[in-house]
Amino acid sequence: MTVRTAPTHAVGAVRLHSVREMLDTAFDGDFADEDWDHALGGVHAWIEDGRGVAAHGAVVMRRVLHRGRSHRVGYVEGVAVRGDLRRRGLGGAVMAELERVIDGAYAFGALSASDEGAALYRARDWRVWGGRLAVLGPEGIVRLAEEEGSVFLRPAVGRTLPDAAAPLVFDWRDGDVM
């Protein structure tokens, strides 16, 4: 199966609708409108078969403050494989394309993993962020202690990860900020 990539505007309304339906099913109805919004505006990677969208992931730009510097970060969203095709390498194939995008455009990649998805990212050398997490919200910087331990980072080729002695402060967004 071929992994296709395109920015959101070039994916097309019909295919985006199919992606959203697959994500709703893959996440057992726990994929909110805000989650969908977070997956839009970047680059999508997907695989299709005779039944439709089989696997999907997207990478979008987020700003992350660390030690007084604002970094362009490729944040991975909406990664899922249709239930009948799991454990066949499709998630890894989609992630390989997203990592290629991160390598070409960002300082590092970041994502928030569910317990079920964490094994995929660990197998691809993504590392759990060992430091503090925060968000720059409407009321200022707010620590996200409940998210610590579930955020993974991956350096872009030729780059290094931030040091965990200082927090990562992510930009604000509606819904789940991570």
Give the per-residue pLDDT at 45: 98
At 15-33, the pLDDT tens digits run: 999 999 999 999 998 999 9
Burial of 85 (0-12, 13-18, 19+ CB in 10 A): middle
Q: So what's the architecture of 3-171 in CATH?
A: 3-Layer(aba) Sandwich (3.40)
CA distances from 103 to 9, 61, 148, 152 (A): 22, 13, 24, 16
pLDDT band at 106 (very low <50, low <70, confident <90, very high): very high
Q: What percent of the chain has pLDDT over 90?
A: 97
pLDDT reading at 88 higher than 90: yes
Structure tokens at 81: 């494989």
Give the per-residue pLDDT at 1: 79
Q: Given the structure tokens 């730009």, which residue do they identify?
A: 61
Give the per-residue pLDDT at 21: 97
pLDDT band at 35 (very low <50, low <70, confident <90, very high): very high
Q: Is 18 helix (H, G, I), strand (E, B) or coil?
A: helix
pLDDT band at 160 (very low <50, low <70, confident <90, very high): very high
Give the per-residue pLDDT at 133: 98
At 53-83, the pLDDT tens digits run: 999 999 999 999 999 999 999 999 999 999 9
pLDDT reading at 116 higher than 90: no
Residue 55's nearest CA partner among 31, 87, 7, 14 is 87
Q: What is the mean pLDDT of the chain?
A: 96
Residue 154's nearest CA partner among 113, 116, 111, 115 is 111
pLDDT reading at 138 higher than 90: yes
The stretch 125-144 carries a mean pLDDT of 96
